[in-house]
Structure 1
Amino acid sequence: MFVPCEGSACPAFEGSTLLMPAVSVGNVGQLSVDLVIFTLGMSRIGYFYTDCLVPMIGNNPYATTEENATELCINAEVYAVPSKELVVLQIRSPFIKNKYSAFCQMLLSWVKSCGFAKVAVLSSSHAYQRNDQQLLGTSLRYLLSPAVQKTDSDQMQRLNWKQLEKIAAFPEVNDDAKVLHIPGGGITKLLFTESCTRGIQMVVLLKFCSEGDNIPDALALADYLNEWLHLTANQQQPGSPASTSSRWKIPSSWKLLFGSGLPPALF
């Protein structure tokens, strides 16, 4: 359930878009959401209280000064930028075993009760498990629930995007029976199928990738989202040549994505 920040009234979400990541291979969705929150300067308005995620606490991942660096963050927080009618749920820890379904039910009930216009899920899938069709063209794909087909399908076609291909349920036995398959996608498939059943407008954007340095994947997925929602324009970074301009600001926490380096005492 959503809990507003202390001293704040529960905000109105009706008509807004909810953006969230799936905890998936390479943490690409979570990294992309980091970029959106930090670039747009989104304010934290509360958190999502649930026992379905591994408990965690840490320092402010979007610190800009010594003062706000001491602020704490937890495993599921909610941010908003009212001018863009955008609400973001950032998830920072993995799910507890056998809690996937309970989380999806809780989340979608909240989406319904708040009157969100649509939900956008950023996810990823194992690149090495692609079928022949998925090897062709871009590594980015999308999915639309039936409820959102009328409003966004035409736009996806104008953007020349590729919908995620289904795979044969029984390869080499019956190639006509197709199923949705998102290996490494975490709760993506369950969340999407539940949204289809409940009539919720959901758009899934995902990237095929492998574990490793997933910063380029996160930037690509954030750009993919931006093509659709137009969240930010390309902006020149101070003191950098035009060729390295970017629309996304990198959070300070990304300096520690691969640890803090080798301690000099080792040598």
Structure 2
Amino acid sequence: MLFLKNKAKTLDVANYTVIIPSICVGNAAQLACDLLIASKKLKRIGSLAHPALIPVYGPSAYQHEPNERVASCELYESVEDKLLVIQFRAPLIARHTKSFQNKLVELLQSARRVVVLSGSFGFERRVIEDSPWAYRASDNFKSAHAAQLGNASLVKWKEHTGDNIFGGGNGLQLFRAFEESQVPVMLLFRYLLEGDNSTDASLIVRELNELCEDFLQLRDGGDASFKLTVPKSWNLLFGNDVTELLF
């Protein structure tokens, strides 16, 4: 399942924060991970292979690694920040999803914390005044981050208690798999609609940084501004331009 560029057989994620996107409505979580990888110039360290992953192969998605190639599931790392981001480039095959999730939990068992990003259909927000943000956190994650989760600026986050996240892909199932294995885990998602979700992706990263600025470090030194780099792959986010030969 694990193919690392350094040919190692195991992945050392002790003391690491791992961020995983769920393949959700509008691909918002994947786009958010794109922003993280490009903004922090994370290095591709390898890929994952499993029957649940549709095989794809293509050119680099990021300008800071122009000679890399990407596949269905890639691993990007910042050694300095102890940060690992997993990125998906294709949907999962449903009948193999549970097996893949179990293997992923086994691979990341020693992580300090796991954050699953996702989204949900905007019309599922029943009360229009409610927050567009919701989260789910395991007890050990809540204990480790009581100060941040109790911060007055985060009261806009609503704790999700339901059994489903409609449009959220396998985000909730992935959360439960890590929770059952006692890995500190949080699921963060935003209510949104299909379409151009690049703005939602940047908002997800900003909210995540508000909680986890200690390791994301997206602010430039003492500068209070928030810096994000748009990856070059977004130039064709909706495919190629219509050819003039059609007219």
> Normalising to structure 1: TM-score of the pair?
0.83
Q: Which amino acid aligns with 1:254?
A: W
Kept in 2: contact 1:146–1:199 (CA 8 A)? no
Match of 2:187 among 204, 208, 213: 204
Aligned residue for 2:29, secondary structure, equals helix
Q: Give the Cα separation in 2 of the matches to 1:9 and 1:102.
A: 20
Aligned residue for 1:32, secondary structure, equals helix
Kept in 2: contact 1:23–1:185 (CA 8 A)? yes
Q: Give the Cα separation in 1 of the matches to 2:126 and 2:130.
A: 13
Match of 1:100 among 90, 97, 102: 97
Q: Which runs of 5+ in 2 are unaligned?
A: none
**1:9, CA displacement in angstroms?**
7.6
Work out the number of aligned pairs and report it. Answer: 239
Q: Give the Cα separation in 2 of the matches to 1:211 and 1:90.
A: 20
The alignment's C-alpha RMSD in Å is 1.9
**1:152, CA displacement in angstroms?**
1.3
**1:97, CA displacement in angstroms?**
2.2
Structure 2 CA distance for partners of 1:25 and 1:148, relative to 1, 3 Å: same
Structure-1 residue corresponding to 2:217: 232
Match of 1:138 among 123, 131, 137: 131
- Quick check: 1:58 aligned with 2:43? no
Q: Give the Cα separation in 2 of the matches to 1:181 and 1:130.
A: 13
Q: Which moved further from structure 2: 196-205 or 1-10?
A: 1-10
Match of 1:155 among 123, 127, 148: 148
Structure-2 residue corresponding to 1:181: 164
Q: Give the Cα separation in 2 of the matches to 1:153 and 1:100.
A: 32
Q: Give the Cα separation in 2 of the matches to 1:165 and 1:4.
A: 36
Aligned residue for 1:100, secondary structure, equals helix
> Normalising to structure 2: TM-score of the pair?
0.90
Kept in 2: contact 1:54–1:95 (CA 8 A)? yes
Aligned residue for 2:53, secondary structure, equals coil
Aligned residue for 1:99, secondary structure, equals helix
Structure-1 residue corresponding to 2:177: 194
Kept in 2: contact 1:232–1:247 (CA 8 A)? no
Q: Give the Cα separation in 1 of the matches to 2:36 and 2:246.
A: 38
Structure 2 CA distance for partners of 1:71 and 1:196, relative to 1, 3 Å: closer
Match of 1:71 among 68, 71, 81: 68
Q: Give the Cα separation in 2 of the matches to 1:16 and 1:79.
A: 12
Structure-1 residue corresponding to 2:44: 44
